[in-house]
Each structure stands twice: as C-alpha cells, then as structure tokens.
Chains A and B, each alone.
Chain A
C-alpha cells in the first residue's frame, strides 16, 4: 500500500503490556519513528530506529523492526494511565516524513 498503516484503537489494563503495530511503505526508509501525542499537545518523539537494526530497547519501550514485512511495532511494558495518548508511527523518506493515522491507546485502571 501507499500509506503508513496503524490500527486506530488499542485498550489495555494498567500494568499490562501494550503493543502498537505499524506497516510502512518504503523499504528504503532510513529511519522509523514513534511519536506520542497527548491531548491538546504536539507530537513528542518517543524513540526511533535505524533501518539496519532489528530491535531497540529504551526503558519500558521496545521497538521491533521487520524489514522484510515492512512492519514496525512499539511495545510498552507495564503500561500506565499516563501512557494514554495517540501514538504515531512515521518513516523518513528523503526530505519528507510520512505518518500513520495514529493509534489511540487507552489505559484502564
């Protein structure tokens, strides 16, 4: 497909792990990103991964990259209510970045 695709909604219980999935478009994308947007706020860069990596871990966040399938995922361990937000997957394409529509993560106490 031509779009960066993400599922629109995800709901988890506090303390569980969240996994947000993304399918991107260009196998030559150099960087892939996860951004977080809280209500009424801008996009905050959470993490990024170089295309020559399979995995990147940063505290509670784990990013997995499957280049063959052009699939990117973000795992949030021990999800907290403060993690409730919209999460955007993005790929860099030269001078442009292409974003998915965002996954709204709801964390229930």
Chain B
C-alpha cells in the first residue's frame, strides 16, 4: 500500500459525459501528479500540482482539468469524454517539488462506451 488513495476504482460512462477522479496523496506529501495509462500510448504524464499550485503540464487535453485543494487532495476532471479516453488514470504523490521519488495510487479505470 503506497498510501495514495484514488476513487473510484472503476468507472463506466458514456461518450460526451463528464467525470471526476479523486486522489488523496500520502500523508505529508505536497506534490500530486496525474498520469494516464492506455494500451497504445503507454504511461503519459498529465499534470502536477505542488501545494495547491500547478507546477508542470504534460500531455493533458484541453477537455481535461485538475486542481489541488487546500487539504492537498486533488481532482482530475475529464469532460466531453471520447472512446479514446478509456484508460487507467493514476495519481501519484511525493513530498517535494522535483527530482524526487513519487508513489503511485492503484489507479482509476475509466471505460467510455
């Protein structure tokens, strides 16, 4: 158990819908990262927050957004969902801003039908 908690574990939704994935980082960790893992794209970095502020942006679509709240939990919002958004979405956390070790949650399986 990495200490990073993600909900929901599984989610099935229809195209065009909007979903929110939630992440609680390890106790004391200030950085939260979001990754997308799909069969054809592998593991892709989406976005990072540190203590409530956006720190880095990767291959995140404009239809996706994220935020980190004062209690350090984070949410990833996926809107106007397409079939290709079906993937495993990981949250990870670390206690520092960069150059550090990150710990992954179990992931949220999103299936868009």
Contacts and interface: CB of A to CB of B under 8 A. Distances in A.
Contacts, number: 57
Nearest to A41: B106
By size class, the interface of chain B is 20 to 34
Contact of B56 (A48, A95, A99): A95
Interface in B60-113: 90, 92, 97-107
B101 A94 contact: no
B104 A48 contact: no
Contact of B99 (A31, A98, A102): A31
Interface of B: 2, 4, 33, 35, 42-43, 45, 48, 50, 55-56, 58, 90, 92, 97-107
Interface of A: 30-31, 33, 35, 41-45, 48, 88, 92, 94-102
27 contacts: A30-B99, A31-B101, A35-B104, A41-B106, A42-B4, A42-B105, A42-B106, A43-B43, A43-B104, A44-B2, A44-B104, A45-B102, A94-B56, A94-B99, A95-B48, A95-B56, A95-B97, A95-B98, A96-B45, A96-B56, A97-B45, A98-B45, A99-B35, A99-B45, A100-B42, A102-B42, A102-B43
